[in-house]
């Protein structure tokens, strides 16, 4: 069933045409603070928490769902935070075309669609192509943070990340269920309340790497018509 689309008029919401006109996110934020990206922000629970903790960073929150984008904008406006902007755009398309080399201090991916059926797993965001693109976009020492409530995805993501020699693990094990001070969204809390673990992987890009811009393979839901929706 297609999404019910509503026009988003919030000044926090950035259509692609506005980003293209501005040239970069520094111009949109009005400063040169380091950038962090949350992929799949849901209704904005996580990004509001982490942006409040890190006023020295600018956060880009993205999602593919129109209603989630609208709710995130509302939540950000209520928070009064000025270091978050929202886009409805596919992550790989944004990273490849508008962010680029050494542009990000951190990437956060929280409870993405697990595509649980075997025939669907090629659609999962976290794969080697995405790691290559993330390493290109992350600054030296920049972090990739991934969590999921789905055991198979958590285990396979941890295995993939742990085998990627250009990353170093920030924990003592490939994944952990101990979230520590990691912000917990309402979605994540639902599983924790049921005693179902969250799989958290936190890795950091090693310094001094030479990484060429990877090609963008034709993927799933790369972009939408730019109608401000």
Neighbours of 52 (CB within 10 A): 14
Active site residue 152: no
Among 162, 37, 45, 44, CA closest to 105: 37
Neighbours of 202 (CB within 10 A): 20
Instruction: Give me the catalytic one of 63, 102, 113, 149.
Output: 113
CA angle 96, 99, 100 (to 5 degrees): 65
Helix (H) or strand (E) holding 84: strand 84-88
**Encoding tokens for residue 136?**
């290109």
116 and 150 in contact (C-beta within 8 Å)? yes
| Location of structure tokens 């969204």 | 185
**Encoding tokens for residue 141?**
């020492």
Query: Active-site residue numbers?
Result: 113
């Amino acid at each position: 069933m297609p999404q019910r689309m509503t026009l988003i008029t919030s000044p926090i919401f950035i259509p692609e045409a506005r980003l293209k006109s501005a040239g970069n996110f520094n111009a949109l934020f009005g400063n040169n603070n380091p950038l962090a990206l949350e992929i799949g922000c849901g209704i904005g629970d996580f990004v509001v928490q982490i942006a409040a903790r890190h006023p020295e960073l600018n956060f880009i929150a993205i999602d593919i769902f129109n209603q989630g984008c609208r709710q995130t904008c509302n939540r950000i406006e209520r928070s009064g935070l000025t270091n978050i902007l929202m886009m409805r755009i596919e992550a790989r398309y944004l990273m490849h075309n508008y962010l680029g080399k050494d542009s990000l201090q951190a990437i956060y991916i929280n409870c993405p669609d697990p595509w649980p059926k075997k025939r669907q797993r090629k659609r999962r965001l976290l794969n080697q192509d995405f790691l290559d693109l993330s390493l290109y976009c992350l600054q030296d020492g920049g972090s990739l943070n991934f969590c999921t409530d789905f055991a198979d995805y958590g285990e396979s993501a941890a295995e993939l990340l742990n085998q990627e020699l250009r990353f170093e693990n920030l924990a003592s094990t490939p994944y952990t269920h101990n979230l520590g001070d990691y912000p917990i969204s309402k979605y994540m809390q639902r599983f924790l309340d049921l005693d179902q673990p969250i799989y958290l992987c936190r890795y950091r890009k090693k310094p001094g790497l030479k990484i060429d811009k990877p090609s963008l393979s034709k993927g799933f839901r790369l972009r939408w018509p730019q109608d401000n929706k």
